[in-house]
Amino acid sequence: MMKELSELLRKRDSVKWNGLAHHIRCLAHVINLAVKAFLSNLKVAKLSEEHEWLSRDDPEESDVDEESDGSDEEDIYGDDPNHQDESDEYTNDVSSFDIEDTHDFKTVLLKIRTISKAATVTQKRILSFQSFCQAANLKPLRPIRDHAIRWSATFNMLKRALYLRRAIDMWTQSQPIFEKLQMSSHEWDMVEFLVQFLYPFMVANTKVQATAKPSLSDTWVIYEDLFDMLDNAKAALNGLRVLPEWLKEAQTAIEKMWTKLRKYYDKTDKPFAYVDATLLHPGLKKKFMKKAGYSVDTIETYVKNAEMRFQNEYDVTQRVSRGRRPTIRGSKRQRPSTSDSESSDGMEYNEFSSYMQIKRDSTITNALEWWKGSQSMYPKLSKMARDVMAVPATGAGVEREFSISGRVVTKQRNRLTPTTIRDLMQYKRWVAKHGIVIPEEESLGAFSETEDDEMDYEAEDEFIEDEDQEEEDGGLSEWLKEWVKREQVSEKVKRIAKR
């Protein structure tokens, strides 16, 4: 695709673009690869579909298949988290709950996954579990099932289980059949460690997928924050005299994660869009690079190259002034200067240099709004900022738009032409953007009663999941933020290791 795009730009617009040198890797996918490297090393995660797709797309990821050992993994995933398959028979089989008590991450994750399925397999068990939630003074939420689409499903499952800890303990103690699913305090410590450790990655993953404001300038900031967190965790583990086996396992996994993250961080040095986005963010500039430990020579090289790109592509007067001053055709005199970019004393005004001399404002979070208000001061540089900030840090926004087609094309509407699908997707986006609510009788009036029933059955699980998500967004996210603030990862590691 990159080769075809490069060829198209060259032939149609005479633009020379090297796709390999300017490849902006999706940061959300990079975070996914790093977390998968961590979970795979703990032998708790089946290789996700997204990971396999990325591995095929990136030849350098072929080492993942070699490192993975499918024989050590429990195949309890499904493409659909609510899908009932043969493996669900264990929910009614007492012997299937006989999980080996090895006190490692694999066993703990298997227990949580089994609990999440067993507690939601029938309506009777759902109601039973919700009664224990009420007895524990918790929101009557159901456990979230893990699935292989994205690593965030594992995190959400653990996060929900941690919130429902008291209800889960009461539920597993309510019947002898659930005895093997009972979680010890040591196993809950391991769940706490995973949630605390993965939380910064979940926050970063959510942040970069937003589309309301530019995100490319956040890339290096996010990398630095994640590296700082990993370094703190590594330092805490290395500082312990006696390390439990499960923490040794985590220590090795953290090293794998750090290596994977570093691999893709080094690749951001090639595309100059990262440099320009950072320098043109009024809240970052050179100060961020200095705080991150970049060498003085590296910073000066970045600034010099960015200024050259500005002069070559956006500041025509600066480029012309370095050569012979143009003259009016047919005139013997040189054309007088009328540009606002030149001062009265003959000194040329350089917007880039003027901008870089201004002290950064760390309170600015939306660079695009700042540049919109600074167009009169930097008319040419603002165009460069607009072009650079149009580059997203992730393709999640585009992928979400394409995913809309999954709800447009259904069993009842399976012969739509590509043009019709495109128009419907654009119309749905326009309706959502303007907050227009279509009456239910109008949206469903075109279908028969039988078709309506079929669509209701298909959407039931999705509706329940969305309802749970709304409940979670209402207060569970705030609970998680407060819980994480109580203790840093390094402090939690030291406390748990003493037990």
The residue type of 304 is K
pLDDT attached to residue 6: 81
256, part of any domain: no
In-domain check, residue 221: no
Buried b (16+ CB within 10 A) or exposed e, 66-83: eebeeeebbebbbeebee
Question: Is the same domain home to 480 and 419?
Answer: yes
Distances (CA, A) of 431 to 401, 420, 459, 478: 13, 16, 21, 30
Q: Is the pTM of this model over 0.75?
A: no
Give the lowest-confidence range in 146-155, 248-257, 317-326. 317-326
Mean pLDDT, residues 164-187 taken together: 91
Residue 87: per-residue pLDDT: 41
pLDDT at 7: 83
With a cut of 70, say whether residue 464 has pLDDT above it.
no
The predicted pLDDT at position 96 comes to: 54
Band (494; pLDDT cuts 50, 70, 90): low
pLDDT digit string (tens) for 108-136? 888 999 999 999 888 999 999 999 999 99
pLDDT digits (tens, 9 = 90+) for 275-330: 999 999 999 999 999 998 999 999 999 999 999 999 998 987 655 555 544 443 34
Q: Is residue 6 part of a domain?
A: no
How confident is the model at residue 297, as a pLDDT? Answer: 94
Structure tokens at 121: 């397999």
DSSP state, 95? G
470 and 366 share one domain:
no
| Residue 8 located in a structural domain | no
What contacts 24+ positions apart, CB below 8 Å, involve 407-410?
A: 410/455
pLDDT at 499: 60
| H-state helical runs in 239-380 | 245-267, 272-279, 285-291, 296-313, 316-321, 351-357, 367-373
Residue 273 has, within 13 A of its CA and on its CB side, a CA count of 22
Q: What is the pLDDT of residue 171?
A: 94
How many C-alpha atoms does 380 have within 13 Å on its Cβ side? 21
| Residues 378 and 351 placed together within one structural domain of the fold | yes
278 lies in the same domain as 314: yes
Both 69 and 197 in one domain: the answer is: yes
Q: Judge contact between 42 and 105, C-beta under 8 A.
A: yes
Give the residue numbers spanning the domain of 422. 396-497
- d(CA 54, CA 29) in angstroms, rounded, equals 8
Which of 212, 227, 259 lies at the terminal end of a domain, its last residue? 212
Closest to 38 in 3D by CA, of 203, 265, 233, 222: 233
pLDDT over threshold 90, residue 78: no
Confidence of residue 49 (pLDDT cuts 50, 70, 90): very low
**Residue 287 within a domain:** yes
Domain boundary among 176, 195, 212: 212
Per-residue pLDDT band at 228 (split at 50, 70, 90): very high
Which residues, other chains included, contact 188 with Cβ-Cβ below 8 Å and sequence gap of 6+? Answer: 162, 165
In a domain, 129, yes or no: yes
Same domain? 367 vs 453: no
**At residue 471, does pLDDT exceed 90?**
no
- What is the structure's pLDDT at 137? 93
Pair 373, 404 in one domain = no
- Are 72 and 194 members of one domain? yes
Residues 382 and 474 in one domain: no
* Residue 247 located in a structural domain: no
> Among 304-318, 371-385, 432-446, which stretch is predicted with the lowest mean pLDDT?
432-446
Question: Domain check: are 441 and 368 in the same one?
Answer: no
Label residue 470 by pLDDT band (50, 70, 90): very low
Which position has the higher pLDDT, 452 or 140?
140
Residues 171 and 119: beta-carbon distance below 8 Å:
yes
Judgement on whether residues 171 and 48 belong to the same structural domain of the protein: yes
Q: Is the pLDDT confidence value at 460 over 70?
A: no
For residue 4, tell me if it sits in a domain: no
Our count of domains for the chain comes to: 3
Task: Please tell me whether residues 415 and 349 are part of one structural domain.
Answer: no
pLDDT value at 223 more than 80: yes
SS3 assignment, position 334:
strand
